Amino acid sequence: MMRKTLTAAIAGLALLTAPAAAFASDSATSTTSMSATSTKPLHLRKGLTLTIPKSWKVYEQYKDWLRVVTGKCASLGTELFGFRDSGCHSFWVMGPKAIKVGHEFFNAYTPDGPFYPATDVGPCPYDEHLYMGQSKLAAKGLRQIGPGHKAYYRKWAGTCVTQTTFKVKGHYNQREWFLPTSKILVIDQWDTPGLTSILKNATWS
């Protein structure tokens, strides 16, 4: 029941790209404290470039489903590696194909609700033995993504519940930055340290 999603359907496919580089450190820091030797550029669609730590590994799992792994990732290298896995410290950069199916029942994504490409209940992001429970809007507004671009920002406060009694056992945040004109959606379920600063200091070409 928990894997009836578009990403689950393609989870068994091999990664379309290898890691962007071989990385040495797992630390995540803000761009203000990172030197040029500890960072690398991540070139995205429409000329958007993020400056990220060299420790972060980049995978394109499917067209317009790009994942940046920032630390431990239990599902890496397995058939479960996908948007609805558990225990993989990461964030996603989605393009048009993902945005088109980004809401429940695979409807097109809008900032009115959290990105949730599913028809069933998904696993908790940090514990595969729990389900995702209810979520509520905790913050909204506009956030800078490099010069001249503002994204619709949403922070959804989610719960993780037991699979039988649905008792709340924990919480997580799903942060989203959406650029509708550029068709770029950044999704972070791990409160990734430094990500807000990295997006704010992005460049466009």
pLDDT in tens, 53-76: 999 999 998 999 999 999 999 999
Q: Which residues pair with residue 151 across a beta bridge?
A: 143
In the prediction, which pLDDT does 44 show? 98
| Pair 83, 99: CB distance under 8 Å | no
Look at residue 29 and tell me whether its pLDDT is greater than 70.
no
47 φ, ψ to 5°?
Answer: 80, 10
**What's residue 191's pLDDT?**
98
Q: Residue 106: what residue type?
A: F
Instruction: Write down the pLDDT at residue 37.
Output: 82
pLDDT band at 104 (very low <50, low <70, confident <90, very high): confident
Instruction: List pLDDT tens digits, range 121-175.
Output: 899 999 999 999 999 999 999 999 999 999 999 999 999 999 999 999 999 999 9
| H, E, C per residue of 98-132 | HHCCCEHHHECCCCCCCCCCCCCCCEECCEEEEEE
Who has greater pLDDT, 102 or 6?
A: 102
- Per-residue pLDDT, averaged over 86-91, amounts to 98
Name the average pLDDT for the chain. 86
What's the DSSP call for residue 104?
Answer: G
Residue 85: closest CA among 158, 197, 7, 154: 7
Q: Which of 53, 67, 50, 51 is nearest to 24 (CA)?
A: 53
Q: Which amino acid is at 175?
A: R
